[in-house]
Amino acid sequence: MNFWTLAGLPGIVFLGAVFGIPLVLIVIRSFTDPGPENYLEIFTNERYLGSILRTVGMSLTVTLVCLVLAYPYAYLMARSSTFVKLLLGAMLLTSYWTSSLVRTFAWGAILNNTGIINQFLQDLGVIDQPLPLIRNMFAVFVGMTHVLLPYAVLAIYATLRTIDVDLERAALGMGARPVKAFWRITFPLSLPGVAAGAILVFVIGLGFYLTPMYLGGPGQELVSEMVAREVQDFLRPGRAAALSVVLLVFVGLILVIATRFVGLGAIVGNAAIDGRKNAAK
Amino acid sequence: MRPSKFTIAFGILLAIFLVAPTIIVTVTSFSAGEIIQFPLKEASLRWYEEILTDRGWLQAFGNSLLVGLFAALLAAVFGVSIAFMAARGTAVPRRLIVNAGIGPILIPVVVIAIGIYMVFSRLGLGGDVPSLAIAHSVIGIPFVFINSLAAFAALEENVEDAALACGASRAVTLFRIVLPQIAPSVLVGSLLAFGSSWDEVIVAQFLNTPGFRTIPVVIWGQMREGIQPSTAAVGTLLTLISMVVFIVIALVNLNRGRRRQGVA
Amino acid sequence: MSHNGSTAPGTQVDLQGISKRYGSFLALDDVSITIEPGEFVTLLGASGSGKTTLLRILAGFLQPTSGLITLDATDVTRVPVYKRNIGMVFQNYALFPHMNVEKNISFPLEMRKVPRARRDELITGALRAVHMEDFRRRLPRELSGGQQQRVALARAIVTKPSILLMDEPLGALDRRLRESMQIEILKLSRELGLTVVNVTHDQEEAFTMSDRIALLSHGRLVQYSTPAEMYEKPNSSLVAEFVGESNVFRSDELVTDRSRVEIKGDTWHVAAEDGLERLSPGDRPVVIVRPWSISLTDAADKTTVLAEGGRSHLEGTVSAVIYAGESRKIIVHGGGDDRRELIVRQPIETELNVAVGERVLAHWPSVKNLLTKEHAA
Ligand SMILES: Nc1ncnc2c1ncn2[C@@H]1O[C@H](COP(=O)(O)OP(=O)(O)O)[C@@H](O)[C@H]1O
Ligand SMILES: [Mg+2]
């Protein structure tokens, strides 16, 4: 065993103990507490199935919307005047670094029946009764999109900024119209960033907990929330473990497929760690 | 292609959407009334006064800070250690170690939370700074790991050979040659690890006891009881600290970039 | 062959039967080299020939698959690099980027437990030796490439190592700087009486600096001798072709007897006597002539020129005249079925007496021919 492997042992042992063992325990418990029927229950009970489908559907929707919104934003950050760049960058990072807890709280204050939007509209006399903006999937969608949008922007921006503006200029020089130059040159080159952003947002979205719990309605729980409630409210840790395993397998499958196309490092925002071929620069 | 006016307008609207929640929370935290209002009718510092004189809040604040610092420290030590193995080790395939090192940030937090909760409750752990710090360091390790592995990849391997040729043992080379070179990246990773612990709710919620709470856990508890301006004030303070961490990271990165530019 | 003056002599190095295997690939195949104290030896060879591998084995970074390394008759084959008391210089300088010049040079002293009180004096001495006294507090990135390499050199010699190893130390520098550094390094190593092993793929550098050259090819030691011997008595066609420009003649039409070899083609005829003793029975003879040895005359003068005897020749047409710095390269195309071509070099000052397309006779005294054997792959 070489020196560097030895130097890595403390880290691997620690991670194994505090991350690996719990995961193994979850898997064991899902089959033994009380038994494999946990899975039967999950795949036959509409509550769990519904929650799984809802989670996947919500995460997919949020991912698509995030990409559509994030792309022009990232493009602006990469190609505008310095002032616009700085402004958009500052606002993005302000949002990114505001805790998702606080942002979720804010959306509650905005969307509540007595919240900012409803008060405003009532003061204007547009409506008599508050609009049902909260405790539903719409609120969850808005909150999740807001929390996840910066991830998508940053992933796309990371790729866009490495695409040489001269490539577009060259295309223009050869007589391409600007729109065509964008779609034929820049957009294809930026696709790895789009893919990285999509995978990141989708995977994080699958595990969302606070936002759906706070903004969502009764009977509309996402999987993470179900997991927590099985442990805390229903005292069925085995069922929670089985739900976790389902979630883990799903996330794992997505990552296995995704990493055939994009490096894990690119997904988490640091392509430099994907293989040694990039090490030279 | 220069973005069109239409695209710029769209970007600015989106930027407003992005910062609106932060601004709303900050503004309402200065409200004088009992309910959340926006825009403010009357400003005051009463909620800040209430928080900063409340022993419970201060204690939670201290807990959060300690957990964050301790978690960042653990993440630094073990994250770097795993990065060593991934970068230079030969015994285990690099891919496997990279997956392990990054894994904790791609796995749903709730799964980590119940897993650790199951293990810790068996061992009688929880309800104090060290247990939560250990749990949080798992979430922090990937940040240190990713940053130091990237720094490792940029290192010149001959420099370490030069140290060995100078008569330094491998351990001395590690501490005097390798670590100082990747220190800025380790620092950035640790700050990110601190940040991730600082506003973490889910794991903290599973490991809390009535006598031991962190700020996010208290906020979360308040939120579920109803919306109050004092929550906004605490949230603003929480965000403020996050921003400070972020600014330090930006400064370290800036300095690092400048140094790299200096290389002939 | 020791050039050291009053200073302590360097170490004697003995590499015996060194082989290195990477999986099924043999990077070094039974290489044996003995280096006398104070000798400057260059490992020369094309890229991938195994130079770095051999140097790293000598340094102790790598373990040979088989073979023995002794320094002053002590077996160090299993001694790790940091216990071998070597100085080493790398192609990309490999200075510690987070330490200033002074700390870089102090590092090996600290590692070798030199008392603090003595360090400063040694650092100053090493910096003076490489003319870098004024840069003590600079960080490596604040120095030019040449300056960084000087600091690397100072760091390598500050502990007065028994042996200095250099892996293409000048490879990253521009040509002019490289040439002045070659002389400086050589001077310094002589002054200190160091045993030096230098790696390069640049044969000019090898010839300028070395007492002896070890020519490697595909992991094998092809020839180990002084530069002059390597040039004048190459022990195979490979050596001759590697060291300096050559015209190589090989043919099935050959006459060999006890005293001479004659070979000829459609348009040429060469004979050689010198070096016959280096051929063994079964070797295929090859005759080599350097482009500088060849004269050109009008083809019409053939009988006059060859009348006196003892000359080799080729008859053909001038196909190109190329100006290359201080010399002129003329290519003569012999025609015939073997499509023989000949390279001729002339100093630029001499008058050009031929023109492209002209029929010429290229001729030279047969004593200028080098006789050697075909390199067996
Ligand atoms: N770690 C290694 N694994 C496999 N092959 C190697 C390794 N190191 C070097 N080689 C091979 O050994 C040969 C000699 O390499 P090297 O000593 O670096 O050549 P040189 O320095 O003469 O250019 C090359 O073909 C190279 O590809
Ligand atoms: Mg080499």
Q: Nearest to residue C205, comparing CAs of C171, C157, C236?
A: C171
For B133-162, what is each residue's pLDDT tens digit? Answer: 999 999 999 999 999 999 998 898 899 999
Encoded tokens for A71: 């792309």
| Cα A81 from Cα A87, distance rounded (Å) | 10
C:14-73 residues touching chain B, CB 8 A cutoff:
59, 61
B40 pLDDT tier (thresholds 50, 70, 90): confident
* C-alpha distance from residue C226 to each of C55, C185, C233, C373 (Å): 19, 19, 10, 19
* Residues C206 and C336 reside in one and the same domain: no
Per-residue pLDDT at B33 exceeds 90: no
Are C259 and C165 in the same domain?
A: no
CB atoms within 10 A of CB B166: 30
Is the CA virtual torsion C235, C238, C241, C242 positive or negative?
A: negative
Antiparallel, parallel or unpaired: β C268-272 and C327-335:
unpaired
Across chain B, mean pLDDT equals 92
pLDDT tens, position by position, for chain A (281 residues)? 689 999 999 999 999 999 999 999 999 999 998 999 999 999 999 999 999 999 999 999 999 999 999 999 999 999 888 899 999 999 999 999 999 999 999 999 999 988 889 988 998 888 999 999 999 999 999 999 999 999 999 999 999 999 888 888 888 888 888 888 888 889 999 999 999 999 999 999 999 999 999 999 988 999 999 999 999 999 999 999 999 999 999 999 999 999 998 989 999 988 888 864 433 32
The first and second tokens of residue A108, run together, are 């509650």
pTM: 0.88
Which segments within C86-174 are labelled E, that is strand? 86-89, 163-167
Q: Is the CB of C334 under 6 A from ligand 1?
A: no
Domains of chain B, with CATH numbers?
24-53+227-264 (no CATH), 63-215 (1.10.3720.10)
* Residue C38 included in any domain: yes
Do residue C20 and residue C79 come from a single domain? yes
- What subunits make at least 3 CB pairs under 8 angstroms with C? B
Q: Please report, to the nearest 10 degrees, the dihedral formed by the alpha carbons of residues C259, C263, C269, C274 taken in order.
A: -30
Residue appearing with tokens 């990477």: C22
- The single-letter DSSP state of residue C8 is P
Is there a domain that residue C2 lies in?
A: no
Backbone φ and ψ for A218, nearest 5 degrees, come out as -65, 145
ipTM above 0.85, yes or no: yes
pLDDT in tens, C158-217: 999 989 999 999 988 888 899 999 999 999 999 999 999 999 999 889 999 999 999 999
Whether C55 is in the pocket of ligand 1, judged by its Cβ within 6 Å, is no
* Chain C residue at shortest CA distance from B177: C96
Q: Say if residue C204 is in the same domain as residue C255.
A: no
Whole-number pLDDT of residue C377: 66
The total number of structural domains in chain C stands at 2
CATH number given to A24-96+148-280:
1.10.3720.10
Ligand nearest to the CA of C22: 1
DSSP assignments along chain A, one per residue = --HHHHHHHHHHHHHIIIIIHHHHHHHHHHHHSS-THHHHHHHH-HHHHHHHHHHHHHHHHHHHHHHHHHHHHHHHHHHS-HHHHHHHHHHHHHHHTS-HHHHHHHHHHHHSTTSHHHHHHHHHTS-SSPP--SSSHHHHHHHHHHHHHHHHHHHHHHHHTTS-HHHHHHHHHTT--HHHHIIIIIHHHHHHHHHHHHHHHHHHHHT--HHHHHHSPTT---HHHHHHHHHHTS--HHHHHHHHHHHHHHHHHHHHHHTTTS-HHHHTT-GGGSSGGGTT-
Nearest to B223 among A98, A119, A214 (CB): A214
Angle between helices A21-32 and A237-258 (to 10 degrees): 120
Supply the pLDDT for residue C243: 84
Asked if C77 and C167 sit in the same domain, the reply is yes
Check: CB of residue A92 under 8 Å from CB of residue A150: yes
In angstroms and rounded to an integer, the radius of gyration of the C-alpha atoms of chain A is 23
d(CA A222, CA A55): 5
CATH code of the domain covering residue C209: 3.40.50.300
**Is residue B217's pLDDT more than 90?**
yes
C positions 257-276 inside 8 Å of B (CB): none
Please, do chains A and B touch (3+ CB pairs < 8 Å)? yes
What residues of chain B lie within 8 A of the CB of C143, using their CB?
Answer: 264
Instruction: Write down the pLDDT at residue C232.
Output: 86
Quick check: B96 contacting C, CB < 8 Å? no
Q: Which sign does the torsion angle of CA A6, A11, A13, A16 carry?
A: negative
Helix (H) or strand (E) holding C295: strand C295-298
Amino acid type, C344: V
Ligand 1 atom at minimal distance to the Cα of residue C47: 23
As a whole number, mean pLDDT of residues B87-98 equals: 90
Question: Residue C210 domain-assigned?
Answer: yes
Ranges under pLDDT 50 in chain C: 1-7
Phi, psi at residue B31, to the nearest 5°?
Answer: -70, 150
pLDDT of residue C1: 39
Q: How many CB atoms lie within 10 A of CB B154?
A: 15
| Nearest CA among C159, C186, C158 for reference residue C170 | C186
Q: Is A3 exposed, middle or buried (0-12, 13-18, 19+ CB in 10 A)?
A: middle
pLDDT tens track for A167-203 = 888 888 888 888 888 888 899 999 999 999 999 999 9
Q: Do C226 and C249 sit in the same domain of this protein? A: no
Whether A48 contacts A38, CB under 8 Å: no
User: Final residue of a domain: which of C185, C203, C232?
Assistant: C232
Q: For strands C40-45 and C195-200, give the pairing.
A: parallel
Q: How far is the CA of C27 from the centre of ligand 1 (A)?
A: 6
Give the phi and the psi of residue C99 in degrees, each rounded to 5: -120, 145
Closest chain B residue to A176 measured between Cα atoms?
Answer: B1
Q: Which of B12, B25, B87 lies nearest to residue A105, judging by beta carbons? A: B25
**Residue C338: domain span:** 245-373
For residue B237, give the nearest of B216, B222, B221 by alpha carbon: B216
Residue C302, in any domain of the structure: yes
Instruction: Select from C173, C198, C232 the last residue of a domain.
Output: C232
* Residues 6+ away with beta carbon under 8 Å from C103: C96
| Residues C323 and C183 both lie in one domain | no
Residue whose CA lies nearest to ligand 1 atom number 21: C52
C49 lines ligand 1 (CB under 6 A): yes
Residue C5 falls within a domain, yes or no? no
Query: Could you tell me which residues are beta bridge partners of residue C298?
Result: C360
Task: Report CB contact under 8 Å: B119, A265.
Answer: no
Query: Cα separation of C28 and C15, whole Å?
Result: 12
Give the closest of C94, C108, C152 to B156, CB-based: C94
Tell whether C269 and C335 lie within a shared domain.
yes
Return phi, psi of residue C32, to 5°: -125, 125
Domain end call among C232, C259, C280: C232
Q: Residue B98: which of A97, A264, A279 has the nearest Cβ?
A: A264
List the strands of the sheet with C370-373, edge to edge. Answer: C247-249, C285-289, C370-373
Structure tokens at A278: 């990039």
Same domain? For C174 and C49 the reply is yes
Q: Residue B110 is encoded by which pair of tokens?
A: 């709730």
Q: How far C106 CA lies from chain B's nearest CA (Å)?
A: 10
Asked if C203 and C300 sit in the same domain, the reply is no
Distance between CA atoms of C184 and C178, rounded to whole angstroms? 10
**Alpha-carbon dihedral of residues A94, A95, A97, A100, nearest 10 degrees?**
160
Report d(CA C67, CA C17) in Å as an integer. Answer: 5
Contact at 8 Å (CB) between A142 and A56? Answer: no
Q: What integer is the mean pLDDT of B12-18?
A: 96
> What is the rounded CA–CA span in Å between residue B234 and residue B29?
8
Instruction: Report which bound ligand comes closest to the CA of C23.
Output: 1
CA distances from B175 to C95, C155, C285 (A): 16, 20, 59
User: Looking at the complex, does the CB of residue B18 fall below 8 Å from at least one CB of chain C?
Assistant: no
Nearest-5° Cα angle at A174, A171 to A178: 45
- Inside any domain, residue C169: yes
- Interfacial B residues in 43-72 facing A (CB < 8 Å): none
Cβ distance A25 to B119 less than 8 Å, yes or no, reads yes
Q: What is the CATH number of the domain that holds C317?
A: 2.40.50.100
Whether chain A has a CB inside 8 Å of the CB on B130: the answer is: no
Going from the Cα of C302 to the center of ligand 1, the distance in angstroms, rounded, reads 51
pLDDT at A165: 83
Contact C156 B163 (CB under 8 A): no
Give the C-alpha separation, C361 to B74, whole Å.
Answer: 83
CA-nearest residue of chain B to C158? B166
The protein residue with its alpha carbon nearest to ligand 1, atom 8, reads C53
Shared domain for C124 and C202, answered yes or no, is yes
**8 Å CB contact between C57 and C64:** yes
Between chains, do B18 and A240 touch, taking CB under 8 Å as contact?
no
Query: Is A2 within 8 Å of B89 when comparing Cβ atoms?
Result: yes
Residue bearing the CA closest to ligand 1, atom 11: C27
Decide: C155 and C100 in contact? Cβ < 8 Å: no
The ligand 1 atom at the shortest distance from the C-alpha of residue C27 is: 12
- Listed in sequence order, the residues at least 6 apart from B52 whose beta carbon sits closer than 8 Å to its beta carbon are B58
Specify the ligand 1 atom closest to the Cα of C23.
Answer: 4
- Of B7, B216, B235, nearest to A76 by CB-CB distance is B7
* Distance between CA atoms of residues B239 and C115, nearest Å: 53
Q: Give me the sign of the Cα torsion angle C98, C100, C105, C108.
A: negative
> B258 to each of A10, A78, C46, C142, how far by Cα in Å?
33, 20, 39, 13
